[in-house]
Amino acid sequence: MNTIAVITKEELLKYWLGHRNLTKRVIEKFPEDKLFTFSLANMRTFGEMANELIAIAVPGLTGIVNQTVEAYGEKNSYNTKVEILAIWDQHTEELKQLWAQLQEEDFHKTFNLFGQYEFPIIDNILYFIDNEIHHRGQGYVYLRALGIEPPFFWER
Amino acid sequence: MNTIAVITKEELLKYWLGHRNLTKRVIEKFPEDKLFTFSLANMRTFGEMANELIAIAVPGLTGIVNQTVEAYGEKNSYNTKVEILAIWDQHTEELKQLWAQLQEEDFHKTFNLFGQYEFPIIDNILYFIDNEIHHRGQGYVYLRALGIEPPFFWER
């Protein structure tokens, strides 16, 4: 699959980091209490969704890079906004280091993510990103319902 | 930028088409009237969001492929579910034909999308996709609020 890249490995990282930056700003917009208490339509709070995103991205990428299959689990649940933001930043740094250990040729190898999702690594990574965008879009509705203006979607 | 692809042009198309298929199923889940009347938090209806997505993807890609700069506009507003679903399918076919006219080396050329967004074509295309995921996530909240089970997010 030697070809002219439609997107390079470094560009895909930049794209993901741009989304992580936007998601961080969405978390920041929530008042502390509302992050863990407010929801619509009997859905999870945005704090719970953030815990899911935290449990997927870096744990998933760690498994991919180290070739270690571990079950999905929200082992550490973060219950304050300050903790969530701290782990978010820490994971962003870890993500960059993990990314540097991936080679272009790895992206088409399959990996049994969380012992459940046996797909090419590129598919797993795109899922990490689109699942984040999906839930963050829901966070936008929560913010609007709270009368809070969300960040501009196109600012990464 | 000759390298081993982290994602090929054909895989990126498949990824986009998977998202379009899911969005179509979300539109289908809305009762006809609710598609154009229901919203939360004073946001747009999902019908209005779908019109935005329709006005971006294929018109944007047409400009990119033909190198014609046209202003963004929701020239044709579709006001029934049946019209939206028909244009969605039609645009999916057009999208595949437009995609076939793009070469790998085009993705890093810049294009002044809608005469406003002068970015590499790959950035514009990723924006088309993530904007769709973002609004569809909001549609999920609407469906839940209407007591309707949305499609599984991971089924493309």
The tokens of B85 are what?
């679903």
Residue B1, pLDDT > 60, answer no
Which residue on chain B is closest to A142 by alpha carbon?
B41
Query: Stretch B100-123: mean pLDDT, rounded?
Result: 95
pLDDT for residue A74: 72
Residue B5: list chain A partners with CB under 8 A.
Answer: 1-3, 5-6, 104, 107
Residue B63: the pLDDT is 96
Mean pLDDT of A35-39: 98
Render pLDDT for A90-136 as a digit per residue (tens, 0 to 9): 999 999 999 999 999 999 999 999 999 999 999 999 999 999 999 99
- Select the residue of A104, A133, A153 nearest B6 (Cβ to Cβ): A104
Nearest CA in chain B to A143: B41
Q: What ipTM goes with this model?
A: 0.96
Contacts across the A-B interface (CB distance below 8 Å): 119
What tokens does B21 get?
């298929």
**pLDDT at residue A4 in the model:** 86
Q: B114 is written with which tokens?
A: 């809608």
Q: How confident is the model at residue B2 (pLDDT cuts 50, 70, 90)?
A: low
pLDDT of residue A156: 87
CA distance A46 to A30: 9
Indicate whether B156 pLDDT > 90. Answer: no
For domain B9-145, which architecture applies? Up-down Bundle (1.20)
CB contact under 8 A, A144 and B42: yes
Dump pLDDT digits (tens) for B23-67: 999 999 999 999 999 999 999 999 999 999 999 999 999 999 999
- Percent of chain A clearing pLDDT 70 (strictly above): 99
Average pLDDT, chain A: 95
Query: What is the rounded CA–CA span in Å between residue A133 and residue B137?
Result: 8
B6 secondary structure, DSSP code: S
For residue A107, give how far its alpha carbon lies from the nearest alpha carbon of chain B (Å). 5
Report the alpha-carbon distance of residue A39 to residue A30 in Å, rounded. 12
Residue A84 parent element (H or E): helix A81-100
CATH architecture, domain defined by A11-145:
Up-down Bundle (1.20)
Q: What are phi and psi of A80, to 5 degrees?
A: -130, 155
Q: Do B141 and A41 touch (CB under 8 A)?
A: yes
Amino acid at B149: E
Q: Judge whether A59 and A66 are in contact, CB under 8 Å.
A: no
pLDDT band at B4 (very low <50, low <70, confident <90, very high): confident
Residue A78, token pair as written in the block: 């973060």
